[in-house]
Amino acid sequence: MKASSIVLGILALVAAAIGYAVSYAILSALSLPDGLAQIVILFVPVFVAGLCMIPFVAPLLDRAAKRDLEAYRRQSAATDQPPVDPDAPGD
């Protein structure tokens, strides 16, 4: 695991915690009806925390996708070539 992956993971968790705390504080200060307030305070901070994590998690997923795509391209390029016949005369 690269050091940049660890740093991005830690930054994502910190950003999520800050986003959760800020959105919880803002929603707690609002005067919402009791039933609505419970649901909103439960789901909205988690959603905001996820949105705060995206800029840090996206590069990790992008690297993994590029690595997998390169492996797929290498594998498909190897299977597209005809098999080498050792008994065939060379050019």
Q: Where are the domains of the chain?
A: 3-78
Q: Is the pTM of this model over 0.85?
A: no
Contact 12, 61 (CB under 8 A): no
What is the distance between the alpha carbons of residues 12 and 57, in angstroms, rounded to a whole number?
7
Tens-place pLDDT, residues 22-59:
999 999 999 989 889 899 999 999 999 999 999 999 99
- State the residue for tokens 């930054």: 11
Tens-place pLDDT, residues 48-87:
999 999 999 999 889 889 999 999 888 888 776 666 666 7
